[in-house]
Amino acid sequence: MPLVRVDIKQHQDPAFAKRVGQLIYAAMHSAIGVPENDNFQILAEHDEQHFIFDPGYLGIKRTDGLVVIQITLSEGRTVEQKKLLYKTIAESLNTELAIRLEDVFINLVEVKKENWSFGNGIAQYAI
């Protein structure tokens, strides 16, 4: 049930954002048990005027290769599961796409299950 938003600076490879999304989905599947086919993503590329970040916040040296990932998901994961997810995403992006670990920014937004409608105007997970 996650909804993933990925924001990056415009990349010369038109398939780059899609590859990032595929790795994030694989990490969610393995680290927090996201079901098969539960893959909804919005992948956006921005010019430098519309991609603003602090290159040194919290002592982390970020570059224009920054990947901002926001995952909205149902609440209920443990802190350990979240830490594993962060690590799995960052390491897979680093290993597979040479994205620096410092350039992986992840934000989880947890919502109650009744806050989802996957179509037909129905809250499929509402109890």
Annotated active-site residue 55? The verdict is: no
Pairing state of beta strands 3-9 and 40-46? parallel
**Secondary structure class of 21 (helix, strand, coil):** helix
Burial letters for 56-85: b for 16+ Cβ neighbours within 10 Å, e otherwise? eeeeeebeeebbbbebbbeeebeeeebebb
Catalytic residue among 2, 14, 35, 55: 2
| Residues tagged active-site | 2
